[in-house]
A and B are shown apart, each in its own frame.
Chain A
């Protein structure tokens, strides 16, 4: 009696299936006796009981121990039985039944303050369910997708079976025109052309429809349509978001998506490459580019923000997006506490986070520069790629040549004195010894120094020394004396940069970090820099001589620190510098302070010197001893240097061939580095060699570290294979394992939603306990298994669906279908749904003949951006007429017309758009320049097509067909012809109005057309474009 078709008979909830039995063991549950199972009205836990418990009970008696009341959980039989809440088979003995039936306000469950109540039917169901033995099931979506798929079945078998059970009569097929329009919009986002309509209507072959589908799936418009949907899922935006919301360069990823759909990249690889393309063996540039998916979350730059707070937020966003997009899980609900409804713990949430944390990134992007947040991928043009290979080879050659030249020096016979260039100066290029009269006015206090006075720094005001602009291919050195009064966790000794996190530290700097000296050259901290740190602590209260030398190589090995004249042993913290280290008009070094950073409070600095060359160790030793470097002009002094130091010195200053090869090396580096600076970069994922520490965060707050966690998948789902790496690649393989119960179900459901307007599971975003159960569970599983077996072939899936009878049916509700199935859950009729914002605009553009069909490229700026919250100047020409997925998307000020038409904001991952109807929509479609202009374009096309002297009947008919893909009925034609005539009279009497009207937008109707005709027919076009036929997919 109650059979609703939820279960295909072989999956019947009560039967003792091997899989079901195994599951019952896994979750420790008892199963009903076979006798009970055979009863016709056996209550099904997943469909009938779980929703009641989940909605009314689990919040306090569910998976989350924090919020659990009375130490009772009702999501597991064992605990409920131990507690006495449930006595299987005996409702009268069960406390649960007693409490839900109680009249006592202090006793009744759910309690009054929960604002939840059970109705009589629900109470009855719970009671009966316990009487029948209180059978639990694993939540349906966590159960395996049956492996034994019946290949003889079709989509329509499943649908028709349910229709028969429900005594619903299927509608007849839609007219050929209607189906063609529906399928063309669904698969390409565009309406069919008149030629396509004619071709289809005259094709009598039995494969006519299949041919159309193949044609559509092979068109580039298909990839654009599918990508438009994926942009919502991936929270794609051309700007960073949050508050400042600068532009960012991510559109090559969008083009990757279009291409991936067009070449029908299998869906499992689509997931693997986006989540972990960088970790694939011999990853291609394209596969690494795919991982930009993980970096599309909003990013922060607001001054004074806490860097770690937002880094944590980024990681959480990645985990949350992957959960929603691929698994339909609301895992983020377990951020602050265990999930209240689904068996997902807070620890598991942060274990999932751990997969996404291992990249070298900063929580804030650079305010003062346009550096791309690390990690990045270079995207050279073919030309640049070729040049770069050459430039790198040139550097390698020059290095080899120079190294050979250095080794070739005979240090015994080479005489320095005569060979020293007469132009050579050993003086520093900038310095501050704090001894001069003028230095008394400098910030900080003057105290006794190593020689004369030194500076005691306040930490809040710095001393400027310069100029000290160096590019990264230029060698340079800095020498100073310093003394710290205490152990500094962090102190800026000196820097040459526009700021700390506000500029991602771009520049070069010497800091004390955790008591140790740290020297760096930085493009973007932390992922694009060289940085070394001493092994030993800076002594407290003692003067120390420090020299930093750099050789122009962009390598950590080329950066050295000398302490008290000796080369200091250092660890390499970063060795990844590939881009410029200068920015803006910062010419000087600042000592002791940096905006919003921690200064060298009460630190002493003296004898500060900058050199535009790499000091040799001999020179360093001399400066430590306060000896003037000019003494090196004496050959005697040089011959006294120990051998190694002598070679180094001679190579730098005396040996002509060395000096020449060094100059060549510098030139080769400059050429390479300038080229590198000019190449575009995009944010991607690149795994750190060592995993970053990840913790359970108390209440989900970034600095409330609790237990340390490693990457792991949630226990409720099948375990990850032992031989899979515990990184994003392992995670992606786990997700796309044919036994994963969620991935394929979630995917086919989303594509079902794309075509049918609603998913088999309506809550596309939630396959958990609080989500809605599938309307056709067996069909969902059959499709999901078929999808996996097909090699995750998206085009094949879509083809199967659009060629199903269910999809082909007319969408008109016949008889009382509107009453019996208002939402068309059972699919007795075909799908009808509002066109998306993209489809409405793209249809208008396509029909107007104005569309610029170029695929991919930088974002376009159509008219509507001029009236956005933060107005942007629209493009001229082509940019006005590109398809809508290319429209520039600014998170804090999205394209306003698209927003009114229910586009997603793209702040967070969204897999479903709520559709609304509001008068604002009528305004933009009736008055917006894009649409008025498109109507004029369509009218002109028709006039050119049928000839200006064709009668208005013919014009209207053709226009109507162009815009709606069908011919008008006689009555429709009469109404529109009458509108035409009235409008023509108005315009004929008011030529000025005609001119004004036609001035809308850049479009100019051809000279050969009569302007009144164009304007009149445009008004008719506007009327048609705003009809249900054009705005609802039927």
Chain B
């Protein structure tokens, strides 16, 4: 069934640029004040609903797929090879290495802090010669696509503040998330889909997540991430109620439209106009969303590449594939969460399981995007909220150990979207404890991510409580060397 938008309605929609994200009603009442006028004058690259009048410079990426590994994956067991730890296995962390770093309450009162070498084998991969652990055989195959940042550091020492910091630039709740900032600044590319979609791996335990991680903070709520559910309606109450079929719903919407048009005859009212648009878009969304979540058209080869879990809704593999489909349809920010990386104990057993769930799908996603010519304009990010300690939390035994939270260094990788492929950036010391070259603070990472999308992080701002807020607070520096 097609639904034609009358000319005036179309104009209206275009005028307000109302996509599925919606609009702030205050904007209806007056001409929306552009947040910032860009220099590039590249207005046509942005939809009408973007707060930015124009991008600040030519963008390298149009969208982001962020594979958030919640709980903090152990960098020295995966991507930051530290053979010295194997030599010093079981000996105490020297005080001069720790340098007074504040520890969490979990291992902070331990009487001893024995170093732990990784039990996993490392090898170099690709032309770039990136060191990777045996737990990441599929990621190893895309080594030359990756920009591996080993010198990430943060300020938070616990999960709640840590994840909130990476997603919103502040450790405390209340600020908009990165996706909300982008929805606000760049608008929705496809008005039939939200600008910011969130996908969670189902049935994962571990440190809990919170809806604020994709919340809009003080930005209008239209910018909050829309979480697609793995069971039932992908979007809240997407389907008609039982017993209401498409023709019936269409008939009802037509009557409502008639009544609203009647109102407009006597008075042009922005609320009424917004309501009409809202109903029309909702009706279209009822078709566009099932279309994006239906993977029946994917080739067997594609499905196989994502691994055996891909057929089951809500797995990381299925979400990676869905992320590609959303990216194809112009969703700006696709946020995946995969929990369960918090190995305070039992690391040798648990870490391989985590990797088995994520290694192949993440690798397949990058290759799939590349094969479709989308990798250039899609930034893929993989990483957690902080690192893990080089020393053991709890008792170090022959077969078991754990690692505590470590804010001073951790590793992330990025691919596509204008970052340099096949490089490793930043260095940690031989103990894997401190950054010794090219540190990248969380705000630097955020500034760089915005830069890749054509945004100067200092100029994507929102006025709230008398102050211009931004994702990077009053910090953040562009990490120039990792740009392609």
Binding site for B on A (CB under 8 A): 115, 241-245, 298, 300, 302-307, 313, 324, 330, 333, 340-342, 458-461, 501, 596-599, 601, 763, 765-766, 768-771, 812-813, 818, 822-824, 832, 834, 867, 869-870, 891-894, 896-897, 899-900, 902, 905, 907-908, 914-924, 926-929, 932, 969, 971-972, 975-976, 978-979, 982-983, 986, 990, 992-1000, 1015, 1019, 1022-1023, 1026-1028, 1031-1032
In the complex, which residues of chain B have a beta carbon less than 8 angstroms from the beta carbon of A244?
208
Nearest CB in chain B: distance from A312 CB, A: 12
Instruction: Select one of A306, A918, A995, A1022 contacting B105, CB under 8 A.
Output: A306
Query: Does A927 contact B160, Cβ atoms closer than 8 Å?
Result: no
The chain B residue with its CB closest to the CB of A461 is B395
Taking A460-B110, A915-B24, A922-B282 as given, write out 16 further A-B residue pairs in contact, using a Cβ cutoff of 8 Å, ordered by the A residue number: A243-B160, A298-B173, A302-B158, A302-B207, A304-B104, A812-B267, A813-B269, A892-B209, A915-B25, A920-B22, A920-B282, A922-B278, A976-B259, A983-B248, A986-B251, A997-B242
Query: Does A1028 contact B105, Cβ atoms closer than 8 Å?
Result: no
In the complex, which residues of chain A have a beta carbon less than 8 angstroms from the beta carbon of B22?
916-921
Q: How many angstroms between the C-alpha atoms of A194 and B275 in the bound complex?
A: 26
Query: Given A243-B210, A916-B24, is A923 in contact with B236 using a C-beta cutoff of 8 Å?
Result: yes
Query: Does B260 contact A1027, Cβ atoms closer than 8 Å?
Result: yes
Nearest CB in chain B: distance from A952 CB, A: 14
Instruction: Select one of B111, B159, B172, B252 contacting A460, CB under 8 A.
Output: B111
Query: Does B105 contact A1000, Cβ atoms closer than 8 Å?
Result: no
Binding site for A on B (CB under 8 A): 18, 20-26, 28-30, 36, 102, 104-112, 157-160, 172-174, 207-212, 215, 218-222, 224, 226-227, 229, 232, 235-245, 247-249, 251-252, 255-256, 258-260, 262-263, 266-269, 271-272, 274-275, 277-279, 281-282, 285-286, 395, 404-405, 458-459, 463, 465-467
The chain B residue with its CB closest to the CB of A602 is B111
Q: How many angstroms between the C-alpha atoms of A341 and B468 in the bound complex?
A: 12
Q: Which 10 pairs from chain A and chain B are nearest by CB? A: A918-B22, A770-B466, A997-B243, A243-B160, A892-B210, A996-B243, A304-B104, A922-B282, A304-B106, A919-B282
Q: How many angstroms between the C-alpha atoms of A341 and B466 in the bound complex?
A: 8
Instruction: Select one of A333, A822, A983, A995 contacting B251, CB under 8 A.
Output: A983
In the complex, which residues of chain B have a beta carbon less than 8 angstroms from the beta carbon of A765?
465
Query: Given A927-B238, A979-B251, A1028-B263, is A241 in contact with B173 using a C-beta cutoff of 8 Å?
Result: yes
The chain A residue with its CB closest to the CB of B264 is A1028
Q: How many angstroms between the C-alpha atoms of A915 and B252 in the bound complex?
A: 26
Nearest CB in chain A: distance from B24 CB, A: 5
Instruction: Select one of A305, A313, A823 contacting B104, CB under 8 A.
Output: A305
In the complex, which residues of chain A have a beta carbon less than 8 angstroms from the beta carbon of B232?
867
Listed by A's residue number, 6 A-B pairs whose Cβ atoms lie within 8 Å are A460-B395, A917-B222, A919-B282, A978-B255, A986-B247, A997-B241
Query: Does B210 contact A919, Cβ atoms closer than 8 Å?
Result: no
Query: Does A818 contact B172, Cβ atoms closer than 8 Å?
Result: no
Instruction: Select one of B108, B227, B269, B272 contacting A869, CB under 8 A.
Output: B227
Query: Does B262 contact A971, Cβ atoms closer than 8 Å?
Result: yes
Q: How many angstroms between the C-alpha atoms of A306 and B103 in the bound complex?
A: 9
Query: Does B212 contact A907, Cβ atoms closer than 8 Å?
Result: yes
Q: How many angstroms between the C-alpha atoms of A998 and B243 in the bound complex?
A: 8
Query: Does A1032 contact B271, Cβ atoms closer than 8 Å?
Result: yes
The chain B residue with its CB closest to the CB of A117 is B37
In the complex, which residues of chain A have a beta carbon less than 8 angstroms from the beta carbon of B25?
834, 915-917
Residue in B207, B222, B395 with the greatest tally of chain A CB atoms within 10 Å: B222
Query: Does B172 contact A313, Cβ atoms closer than 8 Å?
Result: yes
In the complex, which residues of chain B have a beta carbon less than 8 angstroms from the beta carbon of A916?
22-25, 220-222
In the complex, which residues of chain A have a beta carbon less than 8 angstroms from the beta carbon of B395?
460-461
The chain A residue with its CB closest to the CB of B214 is A869
Nearest CB in chain A: distance from B333 CB, A: 16
Q: How many angstroms between the C-alpha atoms of A342 and B263 in the bound complex?
A: 46
Q: How many angstroms between the C-alpha atoms of A893 and B227 in the bound complex?
A: 12
Q: How many angstroms between the C-alpha atoms of A360 and B199 in the bound complex?
A: 42
Instruction: Select one of A460, A979, A1015 contacting B243, CB under 8 A.
Output: A1015
Query: Does B21 contact A245, Cβ atoms closer than 8 Å?
Result: no
The chain B residue with its CB closest to the CB of A67 is B474
Q: How many angstroms between the C-alpha atoms of A932 and B227 in the bound complex?
A: 23
Q: How many angstroms between the C-alpha atoms of A134 and B465 in the bound complex?
A: 28
Query: Does A922 contact B279, Cβ atoms closer than 8 Å?
Result: yes
Q: How many angstroms between the C-alpha atoms of A972 and B266 in the bound complex?
A: 13
The chain B residue with its CB closest to the CB of A300 is B160
In the complex, which residues of chain A have a beta carbon less than 8 angstroms from the beta carbon of B466?
330, 333, 341-342, 763, 766, 768-771
The chain A residue with its CB closest to the CB of B285 is A919
Query: Does B237 contact A923, Cβ atoms closer than 8 Å?
Result: yes
In the complex, which residues of chain A have a beta carbon less than 8 angstroms from the beta carbon of B240?
926-927
In the complex, which residues of chain A have a beta carbon less than 8 angstroms from the beta carbon of B157?
304, 306
Instruction: Select one of A923, A979, A994 contacting B238, CB under 8 A.
Output: A923
Query: Does B237 contact A601, Cβ atoms closer than 8 Å?
Result: no
Query: Does B111 contact A458, Cβ atoms closer than 8 Å?
Result: yes
Q: How many angstroms between the C-alpha atoms of A768 and B466 in the bound complex?
A: 8
Instruction: Select one of B105, B112, B160 contacting A596, CB under 8 A.
Output: B105
Q: How many angstroms between the C-alpha atoms of A306 and B111 in the bound complex?
A: 18
Q: How many angstroms between the C-alpha atoms of A818 and B266 in the bound complex?
A: 13
Query: Does A924 contact B236, Cβ atoms closer than 8 Å?
Result: yes
In the complex, which residues of chain A have a beta carbon less than 8 angstroms from the beta carbon of B29?
822-824
In the complex, which residues of chain B have a beta carbon less than 8 angstroms from the beta carbon of A330?
465-467
In the complex, which residues of chain B have a beta carbon less than 8 angstroms from the beta carbon of A769?
466
Query: Does B239 contact A927, Cβ atoms closer than 8 Å?
Result: yes
The chain A residue with its CB closest to the CB of B393 is A304
Query: Given A460-B111, A771-B466, A914-B24, is A986 in contact with B248 using a C-beta cutoff of 8 Å?
Result: yes
Instruction: Select one of B236, B268, B269 contacting A867, CB under 8 A.
Output: B236
Nearest CB in chain B: distance from A66 CB, A: 12
In the complex, which residues of chain B have a beta carbon less than 8 angstroms from the beta carbon of A813?
267, 269
The chain A residue with its CB closest to the CB of B239 is A927
Nearest CB in chain B: distance from A235 CB, A: 10
In the complex, which residues of chain A have a beta carbon less than 8 angstroms from the beta carbon of B110?
460
Query: Does B271 contact A1027, Cβ atoms closer than 8 Å?
Result: no
The chain A residue with its CB closest to the CB of B31 is A822
In the complex, which residues of chain A have a beta carbon less than 8 angstroms from the beta carbon of B212?
891-892, 905, 907
Q: How many angstroms between the C-alpha atoms of A1032 and B102 in the bound complex?
A: 53
Query: Given A302-B159, A915-B25, A997-B242, is A920 in contact with B235 using a C-beta cutoff of 8 Å?
Result: yes
The chain B residue with its CB closest to the CB of A502 is B105
Query: Does A994 contact B243, Cβ atoms closer than 8 Å?
Result: yes
Query: Does B210 contact A891, Cβ atoms closer than 8 Å?
Result: yes
Query: Does B105 contact A305, Cβ atoms closer than 8 Å?
Result: yes
Nearest CB in chain A: distance from B311 CB, A: 24
In the complex, which residues of chain A have a beta carbon less than 8 angstroms from the beta carbon of B463?
770
The chain A residue with its CB closest to the CB of B242 is A996
Nearest CB in chain B: distance from A939 CB, A: 14
Query: Does B226 contact A920, Cβ atoms closer than 8 Å?
Result: yes
Q: How many angstroms between the C-alpha atoms of A607 and B287 in the bound complex?
A: 77
Q: How many angstroms between the C-alpha atoms of A333 and B224 in the bound complex?
A: 25
Query: Given A302-B159, A768-B466, A983-B251, is A918 in contact with B20 using a C-beta cutoff of 8 Å?
Result: yes
In the complex, which residues of chain B have a beta carbon less than 8 angstroms from the beta carbon of A928?
236-237
In the complex, which residues of chain A have a beta carbon less than 8 angstroms from the beta carbon of B18?
917
The chain A residue with its CB closest to the CB of B200 is A869
Q: How many angstroms between the C-alpha atoms of A1032 and B275 in the bound complex?
A: 10
In the complex, which residues of chain B have a beta carbon less than 8 angstroms from the beta carbon of A313?
172
Nearest CB in chain A: distance from B236 CB, A: 6
Query: Does B20 contact A115, Cβ atoms closer than 8 Å?
Result: no
Query: Does A902 contact B159, Cβ atoms closer than 8 Å?
Result: no
Query: Does B237 contact A460, Cβ atoms closer than 8 Å?
Result: no
Nearest CB in chain B: distance from A233 CB, A: 14
Q: How many angstroms between the C-alpha atoms of A976 and B259 in the bound complex?
A: 9
Q: How many angstroms between the C-alpha atoms of A905 and B260 in the bound complex?
A: 31
Instruction: Select one of B105, B210, B238 contacting A245, CB under 8 A.
Output: B210
Residue in A300, A303, A824, A992 with the greatest tally of chain B CB atoms within 10 Å: A303
Query: Does A983 contact B252, Cβ atoms closer than 8 Å?
Result: yes
In the complex, which residues of chain B have a beta carbon less than 8 angstroms from the beta carbon of A921?
22, 278
The chain B residue with its CB closest to the CB of A763 is B466
Query: Does A823 contact B30, Cβ atoms closer than 8 Å?
Result: yes
The chain A residue with its CB closest to the CB of B262 is A971
